């Protein structure tokens, strides 16, 4: 959704800025493909889901897991930050901020786990 929104904004901005200039569609597609590649957060979402699944597994095992959960929360922080830095979408930015707040709450609780 974010990519489609960005594409529409990009076409509008380009049309406005270059209204008197002929646009090379091939070059525009190349630039857009570069943006899509750089802003794709699917890999981060996959890793984030994996980290969450690992944390749930550790918690359900009822073993001493504080240090492991602390490491996983650091990895979650990295994925959240990377997602935020890649996205031009205000909606995703808001989700990133919410995820950061939730992760900070989790980190506080992890400090109380052995």
CA distance 69 to 73: 6
8 Å CB contact between 73 and 110? yes
| 10 CB-near residues (< 8 Å, 6+ apart) | 32, 35
Q: What pLDDT sits at residue 66? A: 84
| 106 CB-near residues (< 8 Å, 6+ apart) | 73, 76
Show pLDDT as tens, one digit a residue, over the chain (114 residues).
Answer: 766 777 777 778 777 777 777 777 788 778 777 777 777 888 899 999 999 999 999 989 878 888 899 999 999 999 999 998 887 778 888 999 999 999 999 999 888 875
The overall pTM is greater than 0.85: no
């Amino acid at each position: 959704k974010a990519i489609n929104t960005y594409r529409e904004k990009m076409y509008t901005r380009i049309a406005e800025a270059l209204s008197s200039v002929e646009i090379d569609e091939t070059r525009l597609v190349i630039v857009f493909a570069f943006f899509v590649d750089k802003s794709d957060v699917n890999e981060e979402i996959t890793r984030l889901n994996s980290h969450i699944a690992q944390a749930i597994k550790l918690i359900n095992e009822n073993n001493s897991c504080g240090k492991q959960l602390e490491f996983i929360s650091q990895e979650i922080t990295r994925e959240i930050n990377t997602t935020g830095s890649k996205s031009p979408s205000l909606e995703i930015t808001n989700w990133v901020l919410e995820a950061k707040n939730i992760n900070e709450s989790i980190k506080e609780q992890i400090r109380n786990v052995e």
